[in-house]
Amino acid sequence: MQPQTKLPKVGTTIFSVMSQLAAEHGAVNLGQGFPDFPAPQRLLDATSAAMNAGHNQYAPMQGVPVLRQAIAAKALECYGAVVDADTEITVTSGGTEAIFNAIHAVVRPGEEVIVLDPAYDCYVPAIDLAGARSVHVALDPVTFAVPWEAVRAAITPATRMIIVNTPHNPSGAMLGAADMQTLSDLLAGTDIYLLADEVYEHIIYDGARHESALRWPALRERAFVVSSFGKTYHCTGWKLGYAIAPPALTVEFRKVHQYNTFTSFGPAQYGFAAMINEQPEHHRELGAFYQAKRDAFRAQLAQTRFKLLDVAGGYFQLVDYSAISDLDDMAFCRWLTIEKGVTAIPLSPFYAEPPAGQRLIRLCFAKNQATVDAAIARLREL
């Protein structure tokens, strides 16, 4: 019996497709965004200790208290936000679950969600499954700045939510204070919720300040702020994240969470609490750690024919391959993997309607130096 699909536009994600292609052809994988170096030893030890101490049954639905308290303390330290650990923080099975829960908590069938393209690929399917409609506003195709007047024009009486992502995946662009003030003014007096995807919050460069929605009281009162432990602690496979939202929004968020995953991997929650409490220098110094990788990667890429775009945050580098090929980005990434042995991610799947003639691909530099060197050796030959 053939079901009628609820997600007619969805196939296998581009990340899975390209990683599978990389495996089949023995390519150096700079596509999917995961580190290939170890998680911190203290995290591994604390998680193992939690297992040995018997924390192997269901964790509390909202997350273990010691971790929620640590998250609250970090929000105060980083953003000056006083967050209630019991009523405003929920631990989830990755940032993706938190994004799904937030959308389904408040968005109803027939309503609209504004999405800024290029956008991470989990947003639109969650909107579709909620019976809502995604309204796409394209960022500047070079700087990836937000065209706020276009956002304003996209708002209708049906608009229920806007999604912002800073630092931005795939471009690395960041929202500044002026952007957050404009967003705050734009939403004032409306019933529009904000979903702030901030999973790369600690991976920022050149002395910039991460403008979390938690810093902006008028935004925070309507926001679900999502983050990810996997991005911060080099363990994306553990799939743990969290959402911070005001009490009334958290109540609705948890209604979805408890019937989605209910709870998330318990021992690691104790491990992350230990990292935040005992080794806060890890998240404090993460920007500097990745900035060294970014700068080294860019210096090596400068020896190739790629044109490099700026990277303000996150661990991805966009490059323009116009000087190398006239292929579209999907075809170019397949050719690059199969014929040249390096895997990248095309940018077009991040768009509802990709800009005509755009020749951009995404490379991940959250890799050890041997991986980067192997990729660069092949890219120099293009």
For 53-282, CATH gives 3.40.640.10
Yes or no: domain 14-39+284-379 corresponds to CATH 3.90.1150.10: yes
Q: Is the per-residue pLDDT at 332 higher than 90?
A: yes
**How far apart are alpha carbons 254 and 65 in whole angstroms?**
15
Predicted confidence at residue 9, as pLDDT, reads: 84
The DSSP letter of residue 64 is: -
On whether the pTM is more than 0.75, the answer is yes
Predicted confidence at residue 32, as pLDDT, reads: 86
pLDDT in tens, 61-113: 999 999 999 999 999 999 999 999 999 999 999 999 999 999 999 999 999 99
- Specify the pairing of strand 307-308 against strand 316-320: antiparallel
Local structure of 238: helix, strand or coil:
helix
The string of DSSP letters for 135-156 reads EEEEPPTTT----HHHHHHH--
Average pLDDT (345-370) is 96
* For the chain, the helix, strand and coil percentages under 3-state DSSP, each to the nearest 5: 45, 15, 40
What are the sequence ranges of the domains in the chain? 14-39+284-379, 53-282
